[in-house]
Amino acid sequence: MIDKVVASADDAVADISDGASLAVGGFGLCGIPVALIDALHRRGTRELETVSNNCGVDDWGLGILLRDGRIRRTVSSYVGENKEFARQYLAGELEVVLTPQGTLAEKLRAGGAGIPAFYTKAGVGTQVSDGGLPQKYNADGGIAVASAPKEVRSFNGVDYVLEESLAPDFGLVHAWKGDRHGNLVFHATAMNFNPLCAMAGRITIAEVEELVEPGELDPEHVHLPGIFVQRVVVAPQGEKRIEKRTVALSAPSTPSPSNSAPSTPGITDQAGA
């Protein structure tokens, strides 16, 4: 078996050229390949097309590439939490292909499985199938690029829309553990889009928090086999960002003679894992 470990994140992304397409794992700020994105930012790569559930936040994840005008086009299912994203889209600086989330996941899975297209009920009877979704605006607010109509076919009396799969040039993913052969284990919800992006990329680069030797991972616990991964780089766990913090008052408690103080407000964090 080939040892797929490379020395650094900078070395791992060295051949990602201007205009490349990238499938980038993560959901919100959970499980995103921060080290690889930062290395790509340092490299100065431009005109990128990203395929990702979302596009980070203004100063984190894919948001740093977006902020500096490095992303030309993105295929995403959720584009909230990023003011610069909204500004660029509405100003005609960014092309956005909005895709239903389940459809996006299947596009990536199908691409990794060698399936060119598939039929789904999601989006039938809407602009997803009928066309006309604004993908890029003119500077004056007019529509420069709109989505094209897609083929719709009936099976057993039910209409389905034909969706083409995705096979980007590179897949960038984050894993909890990995071995030198590229077998990966993801932690809890950080699994999200990572296995799908790894499958879809023609060349997949995995950053792992912990590198282990071949044979140390229980085969039954491997979430993604190394056949889908071409490079592995060690990226120890760094900062874990909280995407949205919600503070709410707890339900009032009944005072007692020994304790008449008000209840303590409860705090709920939505954090990356």
Residues 211 and 252 grouped into a single domain: no
Residues 31 and 95 grouped into a single domain: yes
Residues 50 and 106 grouped into a single domain: yes
Residues 177 and 97 grouped into a single domain: yes
Residues 181 and 251 grouped into a single domain: no
- Whether 129 is in a domain gets the answer no
- Whether 146 is in a domain gets the answer no
Conformation bin of residue 114: beta by default, left when phi > 0, alpha when psi is -120 to 50 = left
pTM of the model: 0.88
Residues 1 and 75 grouped into a single domain: yes
State how many domains the chain has: 2
Residues 107 and 181 grouped into a single domain: yes
Residues 6 and 94 grouped into a single domain: yes
Residues 228 and 204 grouped into a single domain: yes
Residues 83 and 181 grouped into a single domain: yes
Which is nearest to 216 in space by CA: 181, 243, 246, 245?
181
- Residue with structure tokens 């996006």? 104
Residues 232 and 252 grouped into a single domain: no
Q: pLDDT tens track of the chain, all 273 residues? A: 699 999 999 999 999 999 999 999 999 899 999 999 999 999 999 999 999 999 999 889 999 999 999 999 999 999 877 899 999 999 999 999 999 999 999 999 999 999 999 999 999 999 999 999 999 999 899 999 999 999 999 999 999 999 999 999 999 999 999 999 999 999 999 999 999 999 999 999 999 999 999 999 999 999 999 999 999 999 987 777 777 778 887 776 665 555 444 444 444 444 444
Domain hosting residue 247, numbered range: 242-271
- Whether 149 is in a domain gets the answer no
What is the C-alpha end-to-end distance of the chain, expressed in Å? 31
Residues 175 and 253 grouped into a single domain: no
